[in-house]
Amino acid sequence: MMLSNLGNILLITNIVIGFSIIYNSFKDLTIKKNFIQRRIYQLCVFQSTLVIMCFLSLIIAFVISDFSVSTVYHNSHSLKPILYKISGTWGNHEGSLLLWVIILTIFSFLFLLYNKKHPKNYRLITLIIQNILILGFLFFIFFNSNPFSKIIPIPTEGLGLNPILQDPALAIHPPLLYLGFVGSSIYFSAAMSSLVTSYSGKSFALSIKKWIVISWSFQTLGILVGSIWAYYELGWGGFWFWDPVENASLLPWFAMAALMHSVIVLEKRNLLYFWTIILCLLTFTLSVTGTFLVRSGILNSVHTFANDPTRGIYILIFLSLMIFSSLFILFKKYKFVNQNINTNSKETFILINNWFMIFYLITVLLGTVYPIFTEVITNHKISIGPPFYNTVIIPIVVLFLLLMAVGPNIKWIKNDLKNFNFLLKIGIISILINFCIFYFFKSYSFLSNLIIISAIFLIISSSRDLHKLINNNKNDFPRIISHLSFGFLILFIGLNHNFSLEKDFNLKLGERKKFENYTLEFKNLRLDELKNYKAVIGEFKIDDSRNNSIKFLYPEIRIYDNPSTLTYEASIRSGLFKDYYITMSNIDRSDYYNIKFQKKPFMLWIWISAMFISFGGFLRLINNGKKNF
């Protein structure tokens, strides 16, 4: 009871502080001094401290299994390992929203603290808008999704956490992802402030640039960790399946990527100001839109936290107010500026990059929301899966990769054609390498050839840039790392797609199955009893006659009591060049088990490539030299 009362007191106190910051900021705007009052800094420190204390009190409630707190009762159990008690704090609807508020608050304070070179009014308006967002979510938490709601009488035991969420990767996935798309709130607020105060140009670009890179880097890392978790936990056997909630995290990433490049044009050439503003507003809007789709129960997925229409209505109202107010200010301040951009210049290639990102964004958005509208209109459920996205997106990726290789070598304002001499040589080398892959392995589709050629083209071009950088001592290393890694990512995805092997069959204990150069034998079956679940563990022997190697894999069927759940755990044997992947499930309590066998080439390198894309962003943050994307 004490932690529940403490948490509610801290929530109310944070609401009061939010109003106090807004009031004092408006008051300070009337003062002609060029510095912000010390009181506002103190209030922001107090706000950040108390919201962290509020979250820590919820963590303590989970750790000590205080079942008088409703959120703990519904999402924890006394026998659950300590790691999953802690991660259970944000592994639910209420706790995750409280984590949202922490990130909103901390980014608000850090923006105020680390942008002292910028005008007072611009910083204060940003702080006011950010605190309006904070208050919006605090009211939502306190009145609709309170993590500190009491239960009387106090239960003796909790209901437990969904077993598939009890995983180390998923313990860190939400915080990383939230740092990404919730972090975008700060440049949403800064963009609104820029419009109100008419603070634009290079100075505005510099004020938001590092925050864009921070959110994009964490968003990339969060998506990566979530993909790794889904790969080994959900039994899908792949790195991406266009699940609606996966899409919800990808949408703001596209907007961030476009924004990260366009803000460079604003900084270097004082162009694309209103386009940069639109992308700032769009990124956070997409983050809240994804939250609405997930929290309202409109999207069905293993990732969803809640299925409560009342929560969806609040977020929809909040989202609508946010969109209409930002559009009102944008159109009120918008001025058409005839910006002459040379078609043969770096800024043109960056703008084309933005068009590609918006195309991907619109495609994924339509694929995600179209089934919703179809169900409402026709009362029939449909699903849009990989075939739609692959058909629409993959052909465009080819051109995107080629331009991604060319763009960084183009000069600002006007480029000379001498820079294009290297393209023909790289193109020929890429085709030759692709021919070797085609000749030594097996044939595949024309489109797959183009994807691999364009990926190799980007890799060679970026490697050439890296060589020039080392010789000329130019500080463009972060951009090259991200582009080079993206090229490798697409290459390994293409190879993985073409050379994967999937087999689905039924076996009894002791039986064998032969296919291609493999023999799979169902050797043993045993029952183990662990602390919070029982496991039926199969033993499978895989004999690869081509490589003269033998592997053993041990997939599981887990039976949890709290809550009562059955899960199917994949067994994965990872190597440098390929993964062996097996899941099993019992068929109607018979002696037969359904076995799904997969050989997945280059999975490890897909993860490493994605990790280095994010790493390039973090390098950008610590880069003290000249910053070029």
The confidence band for 625, taking pLDDT boundaries of 50, 70 and 90, is: very low
Q: Residue 299 has what pLDDT? A: 62
Q: pLDDT tier at 240 (50, 70, 90 boundaries)?
A: confident
* Among 331-335, 353-357, 490-494, the least confident range: 331-335
Cα 479 from chain centroid (whole Å): 20
Q: Residue 629 has what pLDDT?
A: 38
Q: Which residue has the higher pLDDT, 446 or 151?
A: 151
Residue 580 confidence class, pLDDT cut points 50, 70, 90: very high
The mean predicted confidence, pLDDT, of the chain is: 86
pLDDT of residue 148: 93
pLDDT at site 621: 86
**Higher local confidence (pLDDT), 91 or 359:** 359
Three-state DSSP class for 236?
coil
Strand order in the sheet with 501-507: 501-507, 593-601, 578-586, 571-574
Over residues 350-364, the pLDDT tens digits come to 899 999 999 999 999
Task: State residue 324's pLDDT score.
Answer: 92
Residue carrying structure tokens 């961030």: 256
Integer Cα distance of 492 and 512 in angstroms: 32
The pLDDT of residue 368 is above 90: no
pLDDT in tens, 420-438: 666 677 777 777 777 777 6
Per-residue pLDDT averaged across 502-523, rounded? 91
Highest-confidence range of 62-71, 120-129, 321-330, by mean pLDDT? Answer: 120-129
Beta strands in 491-532 (DSSP E): 501-507, 512-515, 518-529
**Inter-residue contact 600 to 237 (CB < 8 Å):** yes
pTM, to two decimals: 0.91
Chain segment 149-178, per-residue pLDDT in tens: 988 888 888 887 777 777 788 788 889 999
What distance in Å separates the CA atoms of residue 301 and residue 535, rounded to the nearest whole number?
25
Residue 50, pLDDT score:
95
* Residue 406, pLDDT score: 84
Assigned token pair, 307: 């299925």
Amino acid at 177: L
- 32 alpha-carbon distance from chain centroid: 42
**φ, ψ (nearest 5 deg) of residue 573:** -110, 100
Residue among 140, 480, 179 nearest 322 (CA)? 140
| Position 491 pLDDT exceeds 50 | yes
For the residues 539-565, what does the mean pLDDT come to? 87
pLDDT of residue 418 exceeding 60, the answer is: no
Mean pLDDT of 594-604: 92
pLDDT at 233: 80
Q: Is the pLDDT of residue 443 over 70?
A: no
Of the candidates 483, 495, 418, 477, which has an alpha carbon nearest to the alpha carbon of residue 457? 483
> What is the structure's pLDDT at 628?
41
- The pLDDT value given to residue 442: 61
